[in-house]
Amino acid sequence: MNTYKIIFAIFISTLFIISCSKRDERNYSNAEDYCLNIKANIDSVIHERDTLQDSLLLEIVKKCGNSPKFVELRLSILSKLNRYNEGLEYIKSLDDSNFLNPYDSLVYSVSFQQKLIQDEFAKLDLTQKVVHEMENHLAEFPLDTLALANYCQFSLEYKSKDEVLDKIDSMARNNNFDRTYDFVVWLYFPDKQKLFHQRKLDWENQKSI
């Protein structure tokens, strides 16, 4: 990144922070739109995603309030910067209304904690906690793609591919093999797509009898 881009980014960031610090003088939606516009301008100037840019964006996002879209962005930047303790403290200051999904807080919290602790049994306990939460959520919302993705990602940390795929297969059968499950299998089990497709065909043939 050249010097001009760095100076320009800092200049834009400073103007942004000053403006957002006065956001109580404008309605929230306008302040939020303004934050998004500034972020877009910075992204268009600095194409290289490096630590400096992420640090600048973090300071910007901190001034944007705690709407779900900015909470997610802030946590993703903290994760990239390996600032896990700061991320955990930030999560503690929020409530469910600050997240897009009811399980997001747990997923982010566990993801950060896993980076900080060394005890493998403690990590496993955290992982299983997320898996159980996803199972409970999917029992009510079986086509939630993100929940399915979280279920697969965390389950595969301590279960075999076949075991997790069997669970996905079971859920798919209970929901008429909705295409959502095809996507999840493609994402997490690319080498099992043919097997899953054959199971789907067998299920359809059996159903038509």
| 188 domain-assigned | yes
| 160 domain-assigned | yes
pLDDT at 38: 53
pLDDT at 6: 45
C-alpha span between 177 and 197 (Å, rounded): 10
| 124 domain-assigned | yes
Residue 144 zone, left/alpha/beta (φ > 0; ψ -120 to 50; rest) = beta
| 86 domain-assigned | no
What domain range includes position 154?
119-209
Average pLDDT for residues 39-54, to the nearest whole number? 56
Residue 171 has pLDDT above 60, yes or no: yes
The torsion angles phi and psi of 91, rounded to 5 degrees, stand at -60, -40
Q: What is the pLDDT of residues 63-122, one digit of tens each?
A: 888 999 889 989 999 998 999 999 999 999 999 899 999 999 999 999 999 999 999 999
| 152 domain-assigned | yes
pLDDT at 35: 59
- What is the secondary structure of 24-61 as a DSSP string? GGS-HHHHHHHHHHHHHHHHHH--S--HHHHHHHHHHH
| 205 domain-assigned | yes
Residue with tokens 């199972």: 135
C-alpha span between 12 and 42 (Å, rounded): 7
pLDDT at 58: 87
C-alpha span between 12 and 17 (Å, rounded): 9
| 27 domain-assigned | no
What's the total number of domains in the chain? 1
Higher-confidence residue of 72 and 3: namely 72
pLDDT at 24: 41
pLDDT at 30: 53
Q: What is the pLDDT of residues 120-142, one digit of tens each?
A: 999 999 999 999 999 999 999 99
Q: Could you give the percent of the chain with pLDDT greater than 70?
A: 75
CB 126 within 8 A of CB 164: no
Residue 181 has pLDDT above 50, yes or no: yes
Residue 13 has pLDDT above 70, yes or no: no
Residue 12 has pLDDT above 60, yes or no: no
Write b or e for each residue in 4-24: b if 16 or more Cβ atoms lie within 10 A of its Cβ, otherwise e.
Answer: ebeeebeebbeebeebbeebe
| 10 domain-assigned | no
